[in-house]
Amino acid sequence: MEKIKVLCVDDSALMRKIMREILDQQPDMEVVGCAADPYIAREMIKQRHPDVLTLDIEMPRMDGLSFLEKIMRLRPMPVIMVSTLTTNGSQSTLRALELGAVDFVTKQTLNFKQGVSAYANLLSDKIRVAAKANIIKMRQPAKYPKLNLSLPQVTNDIIAIGALTGGTEAIRHLLQSLPQNMPAIVVAQHMPAGFTRSFAERLNCCCFLQVKEAEQGEKLLAGYVYIAPGNFHLALTKTGRYYQIVLHQQDMVNHHRPSVDNLFFSVAQIAGKRAIGMILTGMGNDGAMGLLAMRQAGAYTFAQNEKSCVVYGMPKVALQLNAVDEVGDINDLGRLLLDKLEQRYAG
């Protein structure tokens, strides 16, 4: 079996030691080098040709973001960022994902007694996914014209979106293409607590829609996007004319909280045929059964195509379950969604 060759870049000698010890225990991985800064890493990449790079964000001489930008321009490869859970750390991590990093892990996992074991499992799983990832350069999102209708602030229509690995950029790309006069949109994207608020704030600055982290009990309004908070499942209830947010911390679903399945099952039950579901890039099967439930309840469903997915897992399973009405490239899903809404309102 050919091993996954990993290069670790971190200015902390302790982190380099921990990374090597963790990855040396994985039978399918080989650490081909550990570098204290990007200049050393650059030479190691030329000589040792790693399959996956783990990259610290905060380093002397050259920071991780600057190095990542150079890598993606000159030698695109799967990169996993190693981040802190601070506000600055989350913003830098989201910027790294925009630049082309596949995923990230946080150093804080190591702060607990059994943290090394949890970190080892998380890191090795993410490296395995990254090694198979499709490194994509998305084109600038197209700006589509407004829907030919005036939506009331309260509408029975709702759009539910779910994604995992590669999802932050897919979601950003999709939302940037949409006009402000849209039905309410709810999103489940697996991220740690603290990162989802930064994600929502970042999206809010670059979209026509109003984007925010979802709050317990708030009523959904047209023109708004609600991001499930990290470590919380997002579900819906309906009171009178309004859909309302329900956040809870019941058991993880498919090893995730928030879970896409949890969101989709809730939307299927509460909104039925007034909903539209979209399953985007991500490893595993989270969201596939929920999307099937949505379709069976009368919702229209989309899946991202293999070519534009960073990891073609969740959409693939959804297709195998016959949960998908229409498949589209991430560059086209915004237009396809608007076409469907136009048809719905014209009818």
Active-site amino acid positions? 190, 286
Residues forming beta bridges with residue 82, ordered by sequence position: 56, 105
In this structure, are residues 172 and 333 in contact, taking their beta carbons and an 8 Å threshold?
Answer: no
Half-sphere exposure (Cβ direction) of 285: Cα atoms closer than 13 Å: 10
CA-CA distance, 339 to 307, in Å (whole number)?
22
- The answer for residues whose C-beta is within 8 angstroms of residue 53's C-beta and 6 or more apart is 6, 7, 8, 9, 41, 45, 71, 77, 78, 79, 80
Residues forming beta bridges with residue 188, ordered by sequence position: 162
Give the CA angle between residues 313, 317, 319 to the nearest 5°. 120
For the chain, how big is the Rg over CA atoms in Å? 20
In this structure, are residues 248 and 173 in contact, taking their beta carbons and an 8 Å threshold?
Answer: no
- The answer for residues whose C-beta is within 8 angstroms of residue 23's C-beta and 6 or more apart is 6, 8, 29, 30, 31, 123, 124, 127
Token pair 């956040």 is at which residue?
247
CA-CA distance, 70 to 9, in Å (whole number)?
15
CA-CA distance, 216 to 238, in Å (whole number)?
13
DSSP string, 183-209: -EEEEEE---TTHHHHHHHHHHTT-SS
CA-CA distance, 334 to 347, in Å (whole number)?
20
Instruction: Record the tokens describing residue 321, joined without a space.
Output: 């379950």
